[in-house]
Structure 1
Amino acid sequence: MSYHNIPIGKKAPEILNAVIEIPKGSHNKYEFDEELEVMKLDRVLHSPFFYATDYGFIPETRAKDGDHLDAMILTDSPVFCGCMMEIRPIGLFKMIDGGEEDHKILAVPHKNPHYKNIDDIKDIEPHVLKEIEHFFDQYKKLEDKTVQVLGWESKEKAIEMIKETMQAYKK
């Protein structure tokens, strides 16, 4: 099955499908190559950092950078590159990467009982959010690339972003 054929999910934007590109704990940045329809190694991080969440994209969305909307999924243990999972958005992480808006949805696995009581970003320990901010603030510094972290927004703002990117995909 092609990743192009994966739907956003019947209960979007409250419950979404996400395709994991980068497992939690990885130093490797994998990306879905839309032309070749494969996951490929984009690069190895230049700094001694690792991804604090599973990281991927939400199908049938189009963000302002031209890619699918990014998603960071809080998990107990990493899943594999290419895995699809149902997620529930709980917040929005706002940042600028290389001068372009590159916001990301923060989500939890829909079918993991450890996250059943997490409904909004306010339910997450502040230190977890600081770790994610720190990663994105620092991970490209040794590449001499500029990233500007703008902070966190609520689940409501995340849902708005998802709806916007769903509409952009349809155009």
Structure 2
Amino acid sequence: MARYSVEQRGCLNTGDYRLFFKNDKGQYISPFHDIPIHADANKNVFNMVVEIPRWTNAKMEIATKDPLNPIKQDVKKGKLRYVANVFPHKGYIWNYGAIPQTWEDPGHKDESTGYCGDNDPIDVCEIGNKVCDRGEVIQIKVLGTLALIDEGETDWKIIAINIEDPEAAKYNDIDDVKRLKPGFLEATVDWFRKYKVPDGKPENQFAFNGEFKDKVFAIDVIKSTHGYWRALVMKKTDGGEINCTNTTLTDSPSYCSQASAEAIVNAIPVCGDANPIPTEVDKWFYC
């Protein structure tokens, strides 16, 4: 099984912070394009890049518009973005991240939701017991999906569990989550419905009246987004500002050498001391 490592650049809790990825040979890679979608295709085991550890607030994400797509903190209106604590939740209630080599095409209207994609890799909510590290690459078993409609875009949320979780064998479909973690899926809907309300935005909406779709449906969605990604990275689709620079896909027009990749990383300042997290991030909101 492939192993990955990360290299921090800049200072945590600043706009300069970047988390770059390396493969097991120490070579720089893109977590968006170079990490395979599958850890084991025969068993439908997928790779997941952890962007945000459970119970943290910093809105970290794969930088889809930056070369090599490091993880960085989202910025809105010139300020670093932290997700509010909407009672009774503290930060993110799952390990949150993305499946590599997927892309929700903003030019494709989803037949089941009636809305186009959100221009990002497909999101994952991992529900296991371990609090993962930012930048960790884990192998997941897909259980189902929720279709969030976020500002007029389809934003699929895959529900999954780390295959190394001690209880992973008990979870094989979305009904197992309902049975073994009572209230958890309802809390997930509640979280996504309200998390932008403290920012002055309306509650989010959902396709299918907020009902979760099962494993088979979710895997079909993932496979379709992999197809859109393939067209993107091969320049068969106009990706706009999406950066497809990669170091392993030699048939891609955006393939680059390790020397070029090293130059991209070295252009970012070396890792320094972290800035303190603003005290207001710990505030609780009652919606």
Q: Quick check: TM above 0.5?
A: yes
Q: 2:45 aligned with 1:11, yes or no?
A: no
SS of equivalent to 2:129: coil
Unaligned runs of 5+ in 2: 1-21, 23-28, 75-80, 105-116, 232-287
Note the 1:126-145 alignment, pairs <5 A: 126-145=182-201
Rg larger in structure:
2
Q: Is the 8 A contact 2:38 2:44 kept in 1?
A: no
User: Which residue number in structure 2 is paired with residue 54 of structure 1?
Assistant: 95
Instruction: Check 1:96–1:8 CA distance in 2 against 1; reply closer, same or farther (3 A cut).
Output: same
In 2, are the aligned partners of 1:58 and 1:71 still within 8 Å (CA)? yes
Determine if contact 1:95/1:151 at 8 Å carries over to the other structure.
Answer: no
Equivalent residue, structure 2, for 1:21 = 51
Residue 70 (1) aligns with residue 123 (2): yes
Q: Is the 8 A contact 2:144 2:216 kept in 1?
A: yes
Q: Partners in 2 of 1:112 and 1:46 — Cα distance?
A: 28
Query: Equivalent residues in 2 for 1:59-138 (5 A)?
Result: 59-63=100-104, 64-124=117-177, 125-138=181-194
- The CA deviation at 1:116 is 1.1
Q: What's the CA shift for 1:47?
A: 4.1
Aligned equivalents of 2:138, 2:129: Cα separation in 1? 14
Q: With the length of structure 2 as denominator, give the TM-score of the two structures.
A: 0.57
Cα distance 1:119–1:51, how it changes in 2: closer, same or farther (>3 A)? same
Stretch deviating more after TM superposition (29-38 or 158-167): 29-38
- Quick check: 1:19–1:82 contact (8 Å CA) kept in 2? yes
Match of 2:18 in 1: none
Structure 1 residue 168: deviation in Å? 1.0
What letter corresponds to residue 148 of structure 1 in structure 2?
A: Q
1:47–1:140 Cα contact (<8 Å) kept: no
Structure 1 residue ranges without an equivalent (≥5) = none
Task: Report deviation, 1:18.
Answer: 0.5
Find the residue that maps to 2:170 and give its secondary structure: coil
Matched residues in 1 for 2:151 and 2:138: separation? 29
Richer in strand (by share) = 1
Instruction: Output the CA distance in 2 between the equivalents of 1:115 and 1:151.
Output: 23
User: Contact 1:98–1:145 (CA<8 Å) still a contact in 2?
Assistant: no
Q: Secondary structure at the match of 1:123?
A: helix
Any idea what SS the aligned residue of 1:65 has? coil
Q: CA–CA distance in 2 between the matches of 1:98 and 1:24?
A: 24
One-letter identity of the residue aligned with 1:39: I
**Structure-1 separation of matches of 2:150 and 2:58:** 18
CA-to-partner distance for each residue in 1:63-82, whole Å, 9 max, x for gaps?
A: 12111111110121311111
Q: Give the % identical residues.
A: 30
Residues 129 and 165, structure 2, Cα contact 8 Å, conserved in 1 = no
Q: Deviations over 1:121-170 (max 9, x none)?
A: 10013401011111111110111234113331111110110111111111
For 2:83, the equivalent position in structure 1 comes to: 45
Pairing 1:154–2:207 present? no
Q: 1:27 to 1:10 in 2, by over 3 A?
A: closer
